[in-house]
Amino acid sequence: MVTRKEPLNIYIVAKIFGQQGCLAYKCKTINEARCLPGTLEALRADGVEIVILDSPEIYSEYAPYCYIEDMKKFIDMVSEMNRIA
C-alpha cells in the first residue's frame, strides 16, 4: 500500500462556455479524483466544460472561482448549470 505524503491538490472545475466564473471542487481522496470527472462528464450538457486542475489560481480564464466544499452539493450545482447552458 502506497501512502501519500503530500496533500491531494486536484480540483474539478465546471464552467459554462462564454460566461465568466466557474464552480470548483477540491477532491478529498484519490478515488474522488478518479471517479468524479467521469460522473460529471456523463451528466454534462453541451455548453458546459469540465476540467481537472492542480493549481486553479494560475488559470485566470476560469476566474472567479466559486469553491464548493461538499461533493454532493457540487454535483447538484453542476447539474443545475446543465439546465442553464
Which of these ranges, 6-15, 20-29, 65-74, has the smallest mean pLDDT? Answer: 6-15
Residue indicated by cell numbers 505524503: 5
Q: Name 39's Cβ contacts closer than 8 Å, sequence gap at least 6.
A: 75
Does residue 49 lie in a domain region? yes
How far apart, in whole angstroms, are the C-alpha atoms of residue 43 and residue 78? 9
Does residue 22 lie in a domain region? yes
Enumerate long-range contacts of 33-38, CB under 8 Å, 24 or more apart: 33/8, 36/12, 36/71, 36/75, 37/12
Does residue 5 lie in a domain region? no
Does residue 6 lie in a domain region? no
For residue 19, the tally of other CB atoms under 10 A from its CB is 11
> What digits encode the pLDDT tens for the residues 26-49?
999 999 999 999 999 998 889 999
Domain that holds residue 59: 11-76
Does residue 4 lie in a domain region? no
Work out how many domains the chain is built from and give that number.
Answer: 1
